[in-house]
Amino acid sequence: MKKKIVVLSGAGVSAESGVATFRDAGGLWEGHDIMEVASPEGFSNNPELVLDFYNKRRRQLFEVEPNKAHRIIAGLENDFDVTVVTQNVDDLHERGGSTNVLHLHGELLKARCILNETAIIDWKEDITQGILHPETGKQLRPHIVWFGEAVPAIIPAMDIVAQADFLIVIGTSLQVYPAAGLIDYAKPDAPVFYIDPKPAYIPNLRNPLEVLPMTGSEGMEVLNEKLKSYL
């Protein structure tokens, strides 16, 4: 029976591949207020702006590649039962080779009906006004969890984290909830490895904690060797 590793990943992992992060100054938001481009109200007020914003993000995916951190995480599957729970909406974990990925905040390469959040379809093209869902006949929108919306994947994510023998937290500031609260569901004896060049303080953590203040790729190289000692 393979030991179970759960990886909680954030924008810092994708940043090494050239994907701008939400939290970087002058980065992803391109001067837009966050609520203009990532909220139901923003979409209602200016759907063209929001659709264009995510069209640009989607197009960028075809210009970037998985980095060493993605590939090392995928390689852990050779010796461990690995599940990746990611806040990222790109497909770099999958392209890096990970076979079990749960996206908390949606996926850029999917779209859904504006009236039915369960009517989700694969989508690689731009979304513009007038492009309708093939089954519901209603306007398409990005399959992204916006601020103020429920996070349906959070419940299965809690269950996944609770099963972990090892928890790897990588490339996240641990500031966005409910995702940041997932760490609290780990078994008390499960070691937590936190990789981030600017690691946040983790209050009230019961678990054994090792902080690696490095980039995702650097940290995963170190951790990959360390995990071999548990085999």
> What pLDDT shows up at residue 96?
98
pLDDT of residue 27: 42
Q: Which of 16-30, 36-50, 123-137, 172-186 has the lowest mean pLDDT?
A: 16-30
* Distance of alpha carbon 92 from alpha carbon 210, whole angstroms: 25
Task: Tell me the two tokens of residue 187.
Answer: 């078994």
Indicate the angle between helix axes 216-227 and 68-75, nearest 10 degrees: 20
Q: Which residue has the higher pLDDT, 19 or 70?
A: 70
H-type alpha helices, the chain:
11-15, 34-37, 40-45, 47-61, 68-75, 92-96, 154-162, 216-227
Concerning whether 32 is annotated as a catalytic residue, the answer is no
pTM for this entry? 0.94
Region 34-51: what's the mean pLDDT?
93
From the list 70, 93, 103, 105, the catalytic residue is: 105
The top-level CATH class assigned to 20-63+106-144 is alpha beta
As a whole number, mean pLDDT of residues 71-87 equals 98
Q: Which residue has the tokens 């994907």?
A: 19
Which of 205, 208, 202, 174 is CA-nearest to residue 190?
A: 208
**CATH number of the 1-18+66-105+152-231 domain:** 3.40.50.1220
The domain limits of the chain are 1-18+66-105+152-231, 20-63+106-144
